[in-house]
Amino acid sequence: MSPEAPGTPASDPSGNEPTYTPNLPFGQLELATLGLNAAKFWQTSELGDLLWKTKAAFLPQAQAYFDSLDTADAAGNDRSPQAQRLRTLDAQVDKALNFVKGYLAEDHEGDADKAYYDEFGLKTEGRNKRLPSARPARAKALARLVLAISAHGYDARKYGQAFWTPIAREYAELVGKRTKTESTAAGAVGQKNVQEKPLRKVLKALISLIKAHHPDTYKTCCASSASRRRATRPRPGLACCAPPLPFRQRRGCFWGGLAA
């Protein structure tokens, strides 16, 4: 899901001063960190619950979104070693198939050898006869190839059973694992994206809540980051301010890192 653009000052109907729209970060990591910080600060804030979302319910929601980023990234990264190994095996298979075709050509005159290609799992792709490019189909074709090698008496050849059997077994295992991993990654990414919109909805509502409780100070209630680091307790009238956080905005009230 694409993040929403930061708000810009819009003209107030009265013509007195600009009104501000919610300013939320683009990046998912920044949004997740902001949401978690705001949720934690809300727990001890004097501001009450929203009618449709309690502060107690928002904390696990924000934590779940934060955790989902790690889950999705980890699932996605698991594909790399498997994909790299499959590419290596693909190269070995394509090279060795030329020798298997040579065995058939030696045993059958003219184009008669091509009549056996289907038995060996070879299909027409473009102008060539080869194992299917789609990996699940290629895994099945390799199993057929192993049986055909034995049936035609090529077991003892250089590219016979000793070569093809371990490749076919490993290829099938890797394809199965990769399919499972891709399913996990897709689920994790989907879950992350599903959780993002509700998180943004709550953060926008919190901005409105801050404005409602601090109509005169929500834009200027916070001192600079350096001043907040020196402060030992909240300044009078600045109940919406939070401790220093890594995210700084050019304007607005910092409340758990949230800019109004």
Give the least confident one: 27-36, 47-56, 151-160, 230-239: 230-239
**For residue 52, what pLDDT is reported?**
94
Task: Give me the pLDDT at residue 186, please.
Answer: 53
Average pLDDT (150-172) is 93
Q: Is residue 87 part of a domain?
A: yes
pLDDT at 5 exceeding the cut of 90: no
Total domains in the fold of the chain: 1
Task: Report the distance separating Cα 188 and Cα 69, nearest Å.
Answer: 8
SS3 123: strand
C-alpha–C-alpha distance, residues 167 and 143, integer Å: 10
Q: How confident is the model at residue 210 (pLDDT cuts 50, 70, 90)?
A: confident
Alpha helices in the chain (DSSP H): 28-44, 55-77, 79-107, 135-151, 161-213, 225-230
Query: pLDDT value at position 158?
Result: 94
- CA distance linking residue 13 with residue 94, whole number of Å: 71
Do the domain assignments include residue 70? no
Q: Residues 6 or more apart from 129 whose CB is under 8 A from it? A: 101, 114, 117, 122, 123
Split at pLDDT 50, 70, 90, the class of 64 is confident
Coil vs helix vs strand at 116: helix
Rounded distance, CA 252 to CA 1, Å? 26
Query: Does 118 fall in a domain?
Result: yes
Q: Read off the pLDDT band of 260 (50, 70, 90).
A: low
Q: Tell me if 199 is assigned to some domain.
A: no
CA dist., res. 128 & res. 58, Å (int): 58
Q: CA-to-CA distance for 173 and 106, rounded, in angstroms?
A: 33
* pLDDT tens digits, one per residue of 77-89: 545 677 889 889 9
**Domain assignment of residue 87, given as a range:** 79-185
Instruction: Tell me if 227 is assigned to some domain.
Output: no
Nearest to 258 by CA among 21, 8, 6, 22: 22
Instruction: Give the per-residue pLDDT at 4.
Output: 41
Q: How does pLDDT run across 87-136, given as a tens digit for each residue?
A: 899 999 999 999 999 999 999 887 777 888 999 999 888 788 889 888 88
DSSP string, 75-114: HHHTHHHHHHHHHHHHHHHHHHHHHHHHHHHHHS-TTGGG
Pair type for strands 123-125 and 128-130: antiparallel
Q: Does residue 255 or residue 193 have the better pLDDT? A: 193
Inside any domain, residue 152: yes
7 falls within a domain = no
**Does residue 45 lie within any of the structural domains?**
no
